[in-house]
Structure formats: C-alpha cells, structure tokens
Amino acid sequence: MYEVRYSKRVAKFLVKCDAYIFEKFQSQVKLLAENPSCNSLDIKSLKNSSCYRLRIGKYRFLYEIIDQQMIIYFVKADSRGGVYK
C-alpha cells in the first residue's frame, strides 16, 4: 500500500472545500493508495509532466507517484480552471 502525502496548498484546499468533496476525496484516495493504476477512478496522465490528475466533480487534484518510496504526493488542488495554472 502506498503512503499518501499532501502539500500545504492541498491541505488548505481540503479544509475549505465542501464536506461532500472531502468525503469523496478520502474514499478515492484510499482506492488510489491500494492500487495507483486503479481503472475505476477518473485519472489521466498530464502531458509533458510526471503528474497525474484525479477528477472529483468540478475539482482537480494533481499528484505524483514516487514508486521507489511508495508515496503518492498531492501537489495541487483547485477548480477545473485554476489547477493547471
């Protein structure tokens, strides 16, 4: 099982977001930690980057997978328009 870590930016976003989004995020992160290539989640690899995108409603969560240390590190979280800037 992979360890999940968050940047300060993501932690701040999770505190401010709706309870529904937070609960949905927690359940999807559990699945992701068990299997980073889970097909049941809405995940895409970003072009020209080592990051992946997890979509939950209108929000996007960007993360990296560090296989050697078995870590999933969430870098950014924001609405659809703001996360890619």
Q: How many domains does the chain have?
A: 1
**40 within domain boundaries:** yes
Calculate the alpha carbon distances from 27 to 9, 31, 66 in Å. Answer: 20, 7, 21
Q: What tens digit of pLDDT does each residue of 23-77 get?
A: 999 999 999 999 888 888 888 988 888 899 999 989 999 999 998 999 999 999 9
**84 within domain boundaries:** no
**26 within domain boundaries:** yes
Six-digit token string for 26? 């927690």
Going by pLDDT thresholds of 50, 70 and 90, the confidence category of residue 22 is very high
Q: Can you give the CATH number for the domain in which 46 is found?
A: 3.30.2310.20
**85 within domain boundaries:** no
- For residue 84, pLDDT over 80 is answered with no
- Name the 3-class secondary structure at 32: helix
